[in-house]
Structure formats: structure tokens, C-alpha cells
A and B are shown apart, each in its own frame.
Chain A
Amino acid sequence: MTDTGRALLRVVLRRLAGALVVLWAAVTVTFVGLRAMPGSVEDVVLGVHANDPGLREQVRDALGLDRPVLVQYLDFLAGLARGDLGRSYVQRTDVADLIGSQIGPTVQLAVAALLIAGVTAWLVAVLTVDRPPASLRLLSAVEMLAICVPTFWAGSLLLLLLSYRWGWFPAAGAGSPSALVLPALTLALPIGGILGQFLREEVARRQHDPFVLSARARGISPLRLRTVHLVPHAAVASLTLAGNMLGALIGGAVVVETVFGRPGLGRTALTAVQGKDMPVLLAVVLIVAAAYVLVSAVVDTAAVLIDPRLQEVRR
């Protein structure tokens, strides 16, 4: 194996170990927190029948609540290792099935929003590199607005105009592709703002770097310089924002799904909170933490792969 290969492997293994620790800790902290919750599980499961002592006994038995907390915790971890997420207290179905049916619409929404935001930000960065300062100031004002407008407000305004007033798009649901347009646009707004701002700043900063000068000296056209050299450079740098983006996507999904009445993980989590449905909430926490850890591990590895200098920067 080459030196670079071995170094890369080391980075990957290190990240993987770290990722597992973070994942375990996230699940454990949530488990402990939720078990410490005031009010008992039996009340949640039984709802209106909570006062029937016979039923309470049955529930305790079925869920193994009489066992020590440590045993319950280990059992929970063992279940996770087998891919068993437990059963919902409220909906009486396997959590894995529930999540499986809800994850699709959310992923769809997130990917669509990310595409819209990425393409827009990239185009804007390419087209505006050397515009006069006045129009750049306008652009950065627009970006700031995109970042500062709450998604639920932007979504409500889009609904108000494009659905209710002009009837261009359906107001709720996730049945047709046209129902995805408004939610995706809404979610893309803040992400596009952050990404656009970052790309433009990065491009502006690199304008006088040696590699740009040498490319210019070779006589390449300004457009080629931007599309082939400057913007890809900035795009790689923008990988560092990935964690941030993911947070924005997840947080945004909860809100956007509420505004547009879409099914999805965000809504599932909200319902779980209202019903104190711990197994479902734990599963959502686990998925989000896993996604975050995975994304940051991939990004870190990709960054080292693309720019080997980074290895030496890390202690």
C-alpha cells in the first residue's frame, strides 16, 4: 500500500471509531434523559385506560419495565445492533416500519432542496465573480434576506400567493411531484443563501492566488477560469459547511413539513413528542445523529483525499 493510501486508511478508521463513539453517546444521553422523564410509560401506553391496575400490570410485563434500568438499556442496545428499534407506544406498530414509511418523503424533500440551493448558488457564483461592487452588494443583501427569513414564513407566503391566490400548486400533501415544488423551494432558501454567500466569498478571496495567476498567464478565458478553477476550488471548501447544511435541512424539514402538511420524519418526531412516544423519538434521534456523523466522516475523508495537505495540519 502506498503512503497516501495508508494515511487515508488511518484517517478513515479514526473517523469511524470517533463516529461510533458519538453515535453511542447520542443514543445513551437520549435514553437516560427520556427514562428520567416525569410521568410513567404506562400512562402513555394506556392513555384513557391508565387507571386500570390489571392493564398496567400487563403493560409493565410486556415492556419489561420491572427490570433494572441498566438491563433495559442493554436490551435496547442489543435490539439496535439487530436493527430492532422497538415498538411505538402510541401507534402500536414497529418503529422501524413507521420510520421506513416516513423517511422517503423527507429524503425527497431534502435532496430536492439541496439540488435547488446548490445549482442556484453555483450559477450565481460563476456569473457574478467580477461584477461591479454595487450589484454585488445587492446580491449579498438578497442572500442575507434568504438566510434571515424564517422558513415557516417564506412557506406561508408562497402558499398564500401561489396556492391560494393563483392556484398553481397544491396546498398540502406529498402525492404528486408538483406538491414537492413549494416545500423544496422553501427549504432551499436558507441553504442557498448560506452556500451562495460562502462560494462568492471564497471565490473572491482566491482571485489573487498563484494558481489563478498561472492560469491567466496561460491565457484561458475568464469564464473558463471561473468554471474550471475558481468555483470548484470554492465548492471543495464549502464541504466544511456540510454539517451545518444537514442541521439546516433537518430543522427546516420539521418546520416545512408542518407548514405544508407533508408526511415525513419531522412530523413523525413532532407527533412523537406530543404523545411522549419515546421509542419513535429515540429512533429519530438515532437516524439524525447517524446522518450527521456519516456526513462529517465522509466530508473529512473526502477533504483529505482532495487536499492531502490537510493530513499534516491535523495533529
Chain B
Amino acid sequence: MTSITSGRAVDPRARPASARGRRWWTPGTVIAAGVLTLVAAAVLAPGLLTGADPQATDPSASLQAPGAAHWFGTDQLGRDLFARVVYGARYSVTIAVLAVLIAVVLGALLGLIAGLGRTWVDDVVARVLDLMSAFPSVLLALVLATLLGPGTVTLAVAVGVASAPGFGRLVRRQTMAVRHADFVRAAVTFGRSQGRIVAEHVLPHVLTSVLLLAAIEVGTALLTVSGLSFVGLGPERPAPEWGALLSEGREVLTLAWWQTVFPGAATVATILAFTVLGRRLQRVVSARGLT
């Protein structure tokens, strides 16, 4: 699906290092941090945010509009929608973070191999990265879902593999840049082994930009994950994953607007929070010349 960053590294020419660019806290980042705190609470201790059971059905309270008893209303089976959204964070956010971890590891590995290897190795890896991007994440998820059956792992692997090329290209570029830097040549002169040079000099240099990209990619991954879950490739029902909640909401769209509006708003708020914070982080880091 959509990539929020298009995988480009921060271009130092893009913006002069103004005072504005160096600031951590802007109204946007304060709100984003607040949202992420709530999301973290929902993931780690959902019981703190709601006393209701996300799976408890109540036929007498089916499809109730939002009110004092049920803040976000109830679904067809009378389950409390607020509780389902809160408990759903655990699925959605965990899968997204897992996917980014897979992408980082796989991408870094491929990028290092390409960046440090001989020309033909680089060519082969570049083709592999091409091949991986030729599979949009949705298609990859479709194929994997046929193979493994839909579910949490399928989703994380599909989205992770699909976002790996972005990291791969970034690491490859950075590795190549660092490879001929004076401090690496010095290390070679001192007879350091290749493994140690990679571990001590190349990786730390590459790490900052990888982490910066990863922060934003969590938002992108969440977008893709909820979309795939929406079309039925996510965790089995009745897991309250946000995309699945919205898919249930689509079925009763004419009857219950709240079942579409609230889970969607939670998804958007979380994606925006990751993206806003990730971008600010990139800007601050590049303005302060840390990369």
C-alpha cells in the first residue's frame, strides 16, 4: 500500500537548519506524544483504560449509539466498542512493530551484503530488492495467506518483507558512502578484520538513519496491516484488530456509523502520531547534524 516516506533519506539541502527545525516540542509533537502514550497504555495494560470485556456479548444492547454506558456504542452482538478498540491496539500495533523489525533486519542484511560485496554481489542483491518491490505488500500478503492461512504471523511477515527493500536501499547507500571514508580506511590499515570493521564502524554509522526510517515506517506498516486485515487477511475474528473492526463496521454501515467512525479515528490518530514524531525526529537530527 502507500509508503509515507518513499524511503528517501533526509536531504540536508532540503531545509536550512533554522531554530524551528531544531525544536523537539511543537504543538504537533506534544499531541502525538500524548496519543502514543495512550496507545502504549492500551497495548500494555488495556484494563487501565476500560473495565469492559471486549468479547462480552449482550444481545439486549445490540447496536446501541454512543452514550454514557458505552462511549463508542456497541456492535451487533452488543459488545462494547470502546473496549474492543482499546484491546485491538495490542493486535494492530504489535503486528506493525513486528513487521518493521522484520523489515529492518532483512533490509540491513541485504543492504550490508550489497554495500560491502563485490560488484556482481551488489548487482544480484539489487535485483533481489527489485523483485521484492515488484511484489506490492498486498500481493505478498495474498500469496502468503494462501500458503500459511491468514493470521498475525502472515500479516507481519508480508508487511515486513514488503517494506524491507526501503531499508535495504538505505543501508546499501550508507554502507557504500562509509566504505571509503577515512576512518574505515584507517581501520583497514590497522589490520582489523572485516567483521569487526562492520560491527564497529559501518553499523553504528548506518544505525541512526535506519532507526529514523523505522520510526516513520511503523505508521506505514500500521496503515498496510489494518488494510489487509480489513479485507480479511488478518487475525481471525473475533480478534478486535482495528482493520477487522472496520470490516465489521462496513457490514452495518447503514445502521451504525459509530462502528466505522471510532475504530477508524483510532487508527488514523495512531498512524499520524507515529508519522509526526518520526518526521520531527528526522528533522531535528538532520538540523543538529547528528547523521
A residues adjacent to B (C-beta < 8 A): 18, 21-22, 25-26, 29-30, 33-34, 36-37, 144-145, 147-153, 156-157, 159-160, 164, 190-191, 194, 198, 201, 205, 241, 243-244, 246-248, 250-252, 254-255, 258-259, 266, 269-270, 272-274, 276, 278, 281, 284-285, 288-289, 292-293, 296, 315
Q: State whether A159 touches B3 (Cβ < 8 A).
A: no
Chain B's nearest CB lies how many Å from the CB of A160? 6
Q: In the complex, what residue of chain B is closest to A189 when comparing beta carbons?
A: B2
With A148-B272, A248-B1, A273-B142 given, is the CB distance from A18 to B227 under 8 Å? no
| Contacting residue for A149 out of B127, B147, B261, B268, CB 8 A | B268
| Interface residue from B134, B230, B257 paired with A160 (Cβ < 8 Å) | B257
Q: How far is the CA of A144 from the CA of B130 in the complex (A)?
A: 27
B174 at the binding interface (Cβ < 8 Å): no
Residue from the list B2, B219, B250 in contact with A190, Cβ < 8 A: B2
User: A6 to chain B: closest CB distance in Å?
Assistant: 22
User: Does chain A have a CB within 8 A of B196?
Assistant: no
Q: Which residues does B use to contact A, with CB under 8 Å?
A: 1-4, 6, 11, 13-14, 119, 127, 130-131, 133-139, 142-143, 145-147, 219, 223-224, 226-227, 230-233, 243, 246-247, 249-250, 253-254, 257, 260-261, 264, 267-268, 271-272, 275-276
Residues of B within 8 A of A266 (CB): 138
Docked complex Cα distance between A190 and B220 (Å): 12
Q: Across the interface, do A153 and B264 meet the contact criterion of CB distance under 8 Å?
A: yes
B143 CB contact (under 8 Å) in A34, A157, A159? A34
* A281-B257 in contact (CB<8A): no
Contact across chains for B253 and A251 when beta carbons are under 8 A apart: no
Given B3, B145, B243, which contacts A152 in the complex, CB threshold below 8 Å?
Answer: B243
B243 to chain A, nearest CB (A): 7
The reply to whether B271 and A252 contact each other, CB–CB distance below 8 Å, is no
| Residue numbers in B under 8 Å from A22 (CB-CB) | 127, 130-131, 134
Which residues of A are found within 8 Å of B130, using beta-carbon distances? 18, 22, 296
Question: Which residues of chain B are near A293, meaning CB under 8 Å?
Answer: 134
Closest Cβ of chain B to A9, distance in Å, is: 20
* Contact call A269/B147, Cβ cutoff below 8 A: no
Are A150 and B268 in touch, CB under 8 angstroms? yes
What are 15 A-B interface contacts by the 8 Å CB criterion?
Answer: A18-B127, A22-B130, A145-B268, A147-B4, A151-B227, A156-B246, A241-B6, A248-B3, A270-B231, A272-B142, A272-B146, A273-B142, A273-B233, A284-B139, A289-B135
Given A157-B260, A252-B2, A258-B230 in contact, is the A201-B14 Cβ separation under 8 Å? yes
Contact of A150 among B6, B119, B145, B227 (CB under 8 A): B227
A241 to B7, CA, bound (A): 10
B4 adjacent to A292 (CB under 8 Å): no
Task: Summarize A's interface: helix, strand, loop or mixed.
Answer: helix
Closest to B149 in A: A38
For A144, the chain B residues whose CB sits under 8 A away are: 272, 275-276
Complex contacts, B1 vs chain A, CB 8 Å: 151, 190, 247-248, 251-252, 255
Partner of A288, one of B14, B139, B232: B139
**What are the residues of chain B within 8 A of A288 when measuring CB–CB?**
134-136, 139
Q: Distance (Å) between the CB of B114 and the closest chain A CB?
A: 13
Question: Bound state CA distance, A190 and B139, in angstroms?
Answer: 18
Question: Closest A-chain residue to B270, C-beta based?
Answer: A148
Q: How far is the CA of A33 from the CA of B158 in the complex (A)?
A: 14
Alpha-carbon distance between A238 and B219 when the two chains are bound, in angstroms: 23
Give complex CA distance A63, B219 in Å: 44
**A274–B1 CA distance with the chains assembled, in angstroms:** 20
Chain B contacts for A159, CB-based, 8 A = 253
CA distance A289 to B142 in the complex (A): 14
In the bound assembly, the distance between CA atoms of A36 and B143 in angstroms comes to 12
Partner of B133, one of A34, A150, A251, A292: A292
Are B275 and A247 in contact (CB-based, < 8 A)?
no
Interface centre among B142, B268, B275, B276 (most CB of A within 10 A): B142
Which of B3, B147, B231, B233 lies in contact with A247, CB distance below 8 A?
A: B3
A278-B142 Cα distance, complex, nearest whole Å: 11
Contact B227 A148 (CB under 8 A): no
Residues of chain A within 8 A of B136, CB atoms compared: 246-247, 250-251, 288, 292
Docked complex Cα distance between A274 and B272 (Å): 32
Docked complex Cα distance between A266 and B142 (Å): 10
Contacting pair B267 A150 (CB below 8 A):
yes
Chain B residues with CB below 8 A from A251, complex form: 1-2, 136-139, 224, 227
* Bound form: Cα–Cα A296–B131 in Å: 12
A114 to B269 CA separation, bound complex (whole angstroms): 26
B135 with A26: CB separation less than 8 A: yes
Residues of A within 8 A of B271 (CB): 148, 150
7 nearest interchain CB pairs?
A251-B1, A153-B264, A251-B138, A247-B136, A190-B2, A292-B134, A148-B271
A156 to B251, CA, bound (A): 10
List chain A residues, Cβ under 8 A from B230.
150, 152, 255, 258
Are A285 and B268 in touch, CB under 8 angstroms?
Answer: no
Please name the residue on chain B nearest to A18 by beta carbon.
Answer: B127
Q: Are B249 and A156 within 8 A (Cβ)?
A: yes
Q: Is B254 touching A164 in the complex (CB atoms < 8 A)?
A: yes
Given contacts A26-B135, A34-B147, contact A160 B246 (CB under 8 A): no
Smallest CB separation, A20 vs chain B (Å): 11
Return B247 CB to nearest CB of chain A, in Å. 8
Asked if A148 meets B6 with Cβ closer than 8 Å, knowing A26-B134, A288-B136, the reply is no
Contact of B246 among A18, A153, A191 (CB under 8 A): A153
